[in-house]
Chains A and B, each alone.
Chain A
């Protein structure tokens, strides 16, 4: 019996292979192709793989008897002890953007890979189809959307959650850049489990984080369910359980939650953009909890809480504006998020709605008039030594922005804007190679912790200075590290003002306000010489 089945790509064949109903299949008899077609995932994958809107799949290779580690652990912990005979092996469904025959394929797989680069470049990734009822979408590794000719050169897609997967296809190792996706099985895993598992796919590239299987994640979330009920079959995880499961994988969680009082609700779209933009350079996906509409009743929709994983974003060029007293964030250029939504599929788009608290996603679009989803919680998994949060830095930046406004009012050629990011210090040093030579040398020779916060200050699109903060420090202390000025003119002006007025310390609403004032003053210090000359310290 052949170890694979080759089929031309079309929707019917996609449904067949996902259900396990195809010639020589080793898979499921628990889900019909019709049931697969009713799933959100089918509609999503069919579009994602389509020629007109997606990756352009033309051929399917369904690999039989594939052993999936994640499924095998789930199988051992639950399905093996069921009376029904659930198979322990899966089908792995590969997709290619080339058309080819069985003979072509078997010729190619025995040749050196380099001889068939075009063929292997047409490889789009795989979906593991699990032999269980309805929740058939197992580990899925698919390419991201290619950049289209119609895409503006002023826009960019950043998939910060992606990593490299080595995919072995009948003895040929293919490197694929993606982030694995998985659907919850509703027994050992729910949406939050899937969201954590997808986050860990990338986080575990770091030595401090461990990749767990879905059943292990749920098992480590608690000893009982959220309301004291049994943990398995699982009915859902709370924020605290999500945080516990993340902890057991070697990370800690920064949590931001919606407030009951409407006026205290600060999880706006702008804040979400700032947070995603800030933590993206470290490369660990964020987990969001949304309140999404989920039944199809147009008149009386139900809402439920749903966890998703943020893996990337789309951004456009920052547009200069008139100088303003209101602080401006460069992260407002994020126009959409890409998320792994276990209810739909990988790299699903989330648009920012018209209101500051509205998100439009696939759940919203099931309704004739899209019903917005709402962000209720942000879970930011970080390495435990990153103790200073985005918000700790934003407080200091807001104070400095006010000082700059007091100094310049609306006399800058365009507005002052800020970009705050958590970075590896070596990445910052590496990027500084393109700076002016002396500045770059100073940066390279500066002793820095591994994790730093960098707040870039711009006038229009001109980078003026960069404030570095020690991300491992104490939040109530002065955690500033250094300031690198790209404009000596601004540096001298800031110093002149601060030297003259120590009261500027009052702009900081912080226990270490005087030290922050001193930090700003000392970092901008320069020596004035006669005849208007100066040199910088």
Chain B
């Protein structure tokens, strides 16, 4: 089966190899009040905020003139 989407080089034959050998997925117990997950969410928010910042047009750029 070919799953050539918008990437020219992707050829998929099987899904057997998605995980490391011996790994079995199970729903873990997540404590959303734990420092680890709180920190993870904070980092996620910072990264997403940086993307929002990118959308803000810098006023100094309005004075840039393409002269060459």
Residues of B within 8 A of A266 (CB): 50, 53-54
Q: Contact mask A24-44 → B, CB, 8 Å, 1/0?
A: 000000000000000000000
A468 interfacial contact with B, CB 8 Å: no
Residues of chain A whose beta carbon lies under 8 Å from any beta carbon of chain B: 154, 156, 190-192, 195, 226, 235-240, 242, 255-260, 264, 266, 271, 281, 289, 292, 294, 304-307, 315, 317-318, 330, 343, 376-377, 389, 391, 394-395, 398-399, 402, 406-408, 411-413, 419, 421, 423, 431, 434-436, 454, 456, 458-464, 466, 486-487, 489-490, 493, 496-497, 500-501, 503, 506-510
Residues of chain A within 8 A of B51, CB atoms compared: 391, 394-395, 398
Question: Does the CB pair B66–A191 fall under 8 Å?
Answer: yes
Query: Which single member of A195, A238, A486, A490 contacts B65 (CB below 8 Å)?
Result: A238
- Given A238-B64, A255-B57, A423-B6, residue A413 in contact with residue B20 (CB < 8 A): yes
Given the complex of chains A and B, what is the CA–CA distance between A500 and B66 in angstroms?
Answer: 55
Q: How many A-B residue pairs have CB under 8 A?
A: 178
Chain B residues proximal to chain A, CB less than 8 Å: 1-12, 15, 17-20, 23, 25, 27-28, 30, 32, 37, 40-41, 43-45, 47-55, 57-58, 60-68
Name A419's contact: one of B6, B17, B32 (CB within 8 Å). B6
How far is A458 from B15 in the complex, measured between Cα atoms in Å?
11
Partner of B3 from A238, A423, A486, A489 at Cβ < 8 Å: A486
A239-B64, A411-B19 as given contacts; A466 in contact with B5, CB under 8 Å: yes
Contacts of A395 in B (CB 8 A): 48, 51-52
Instruction: Name the A residues within 8 Å of B57 (CB-CB).
Output: 255-257
Q: Is the CB of A256 within 8 A of B64?
A: no
In the bound complex, CA of A395 to CA of B53 (Å): 11
Q: Complex: how many Å from CA A423 to CA B9?
A: 18
Cβ contact within 8 Å between A391 and B54: yes
Chain A interface SS verdict (over half): mixed
List chain A residues, Cβ under 8 A from B53.
259, 264, 266
Residues of chain B within 8 A (CB-CB) of A412 are 18-20
- State whether A431 touches B9 (Cβ < 8 A): no
Residues of A within 8 A of B1 (CB): 434-436
User: Contact: A421 with B67, CB < 8 Å?
Assistant: no
A389 and B55 form a contact (CB under 8 A): yes
Closest 9 CB pairs of A and B: A509-B48, A257-B61, A236-B67, A306-B68, A236-B65, A503-B32, A509-B45, A192-B66, A307-B66
- With CB as the reference atom, state the residue of chain B lying closest to A317: B9
Q: What A residues does B61 contact at CB under 8 A? A: 239, 255, 257-258, 376-377
Cβ B7 vs Cβ A419 within 8 A = yes
* A489 x B18 contact (CB < 8 A): yes
Q: A240-B62, A305-B66, A343-B68 are in contact. Are A431 and B30 (CB under 8 A)?
A: no
Q: Report the minimum CB–CB distance from A199 to chain B (whole Å).
A: 14
Whether B67 lies near A305 (C-beta < 8 A) is yes
In this complex, which of A226, A330, A462 has the most chain B Cβ atoms within 10 angstroms of its Cβ?
Answer: A462
Q: How far is the CA of A260 from the CA of B60 in the complex (A)?
A: 7
Contact present for A431 and B5 (CB under 8 Å):
yes
Contact A305 B65 (CB under 8 A): yes
CB distance from A140 to the nearest CB of B (A): 19
Contact present for A376 and B64 (CB under 8 Å): yes
Contact flag A462-B48 (CB < 8 Å), given A431-B6, A500-B27: no
In the bound complex, residues from chain A placing their C-beta under 8 Å from that of B32 are 501, 503, 506
With A and B bound together, what is the CA distance between A486 and B13 in angstroms? 12
The reply to whether B27 and A507 form a contact with Cβ atoms under 8 Å apart is no
Q: Are A493 and B58 in contact (CB under 8 A)?
A: no
The smallest beta-carbon distance between B32 and chain A, in angstroms, is 4
Question: Within the assembled complex, what's the spacing in Å between the Cα atoms of A318 and B37?
Answer: 31
Cα distance A458–B7 in the bound complex, in angstroms? 11
B50 CB contacts on chain A under 8 angstroms: 266
A227 to B58, CA, bound (A): 19
A257-B57, A391-B55 in contact; A190/B66 too (CB < 8 A)? Answer: yes
Chain A residues with CB below 8 A from B12, complex form = 461-463, 486
A39 to B54, CA, bound (A): 37
Can you identify 6 A-B contacts, CB atoms within 8 angstroms?
A260-B60, A376-B61, A391-B52, A395-B48, A407-B25, A466-B5
Are B66 and A237 in touch, CB under 8 angstroms?
Answer: yes
Identify the closest chain A residue to B4 (Cβ).
A434
